[in-house]
Chain A
Amino acid sequence: DTEVTQTPKHLVMGMTNKKSLKCEQHMGHRAMYWYKQKAKKPPELMFVYSYEKLSINESVPSRFSPECPNSSLLNLHLHALQPEDSALYLCASSQAPWSGTEAFFGQGTRLTVV
């Protein structure tokens, strides 16, 4: 199983809503990532979890709150988002510590904030 599964595939939320994005992998990877991708732009790193601990936060606003409940799951909690937060949110995983293997990406959640 070389899949990273993200749910939901699409999400529309209002600026006062609270929602969560979910990501799951069963490859035994111990590094998991959240990326944000705007149209026609490359993915931008948001957070890195290594062994279930947050290791990198790329100065992401606090309205995005990551959580790694266990080694297979990664959540991104969303609260009081802005329309400019609308984007494709990609989850990825790789072996950790660095062992020379590639990162696998999920299919993404397309988020629209209205």
Chain B
Amino acid sequence: EDKVVQSPLSLVVHEGDTVTLNCSYEVTNFRSLLWYKQEKKAPTFLFMLTSSGIEKKSGRLSSILDKKELFSILNITATQTGDSAVYLCAVEAAGNKLTFGGGTRVLVKP
């Protein structure tokens, strides 16, 4: 059975802090790893990672994948209150199957 585990479950930081979120996975026929941000309803796409060791960056967010050790990290630097959300990691396997981790709830305090 495909498995995606995220840590920590939740964290509270202050504006300006840097956060690092972890995602480890065990899936058959790995295709890609995706990060989503979910605030109220629909998860919104952040990154898709397919190759090991290549950092994807978008503003204050960055992510990297290690296919040998089967994990990914999502970094958020200079956090803002608008970064408060649940961050979901999902792994795409063969057959277009997307399996989500349990999410990390981030609260950024002013």
Contacts and interface: CB of A to CB of B under 8 A. Distances in A.
Interface string A52-93: 000110000000000000000000000000000000101010
Interface residues of B, number: 24
Contacts of B101: 42
B95 A102 contact: no
A33 B99 CA distance: 12
A25 interface: no
A90 B42 contact: yes
Interface of B, helix, strand, loop or mixed by DSSP: strand
Interface residues of A, number: 28
Interface stretch (B13-21, B43-51, B62-70, B75-83): B43-51
A42 B41 contact: no
Contact of B45 (A33, A48, A102): A102
B18 to A, nearest CB: 24
27 contacts: A4-B42, A31-B96, A33-B96, A41-B102, A42-B88, A42-B101, A44-B100, A45-B99, A48-B95, A48-B97, A50-B96, A55-B95, A56-B95, A56-B96, A90-B43, A94-B96, A100-B50, A102-B45, A102-B48, A103-B34, A103-B45, A103-B98, A105-B44, A106-B42, A107-B42, A108-B41, A108-B42
Interface of B: 31-32, 34, 36, 41-45, 48, 50, 88, 90, 92, 94-103
Interface of A: 4, 31, 33, 41-45, 48, 50, 55-56, 88, 90, 92, 94, 96-98, 100-108
